[in-house]
Amino acid sequence: MTNEGECSWYEFAHEIFALLRLKTPLLETTTSRMPSQVKRPLYSVLENGLLKKEGMNHMPHWRDSLATFLRVNYS
Amino acid at 25: P
pLDDT at 3 (0 to 100): 94
- Cβ neighbours around 8 below 10 Å, total: 12
pLDDT at 18 (0 to 100): 97
Q: Where does the pLDDT of residue 30 fall: very low under 50, low under 70, confident under 90, or very high at 90 and above?
A: confident
Helix (H, G, I), strand (E, B) or coil at 26: coil
**pLDDT reading at 63 higher than 90:** yes
Q: Where does the pLDDT of residue 23 fall: very low under 50, low under 70, confident under 90, or very high at 90 and above?
A: very high
- pTM value is 0.83
pLDDT at 43 (0 to 100): 84
Which among 44, 30, 42 has a CA at the least distance from the CA of 2? Answer: 44
pLDDT at 61 (0 to 100): 96
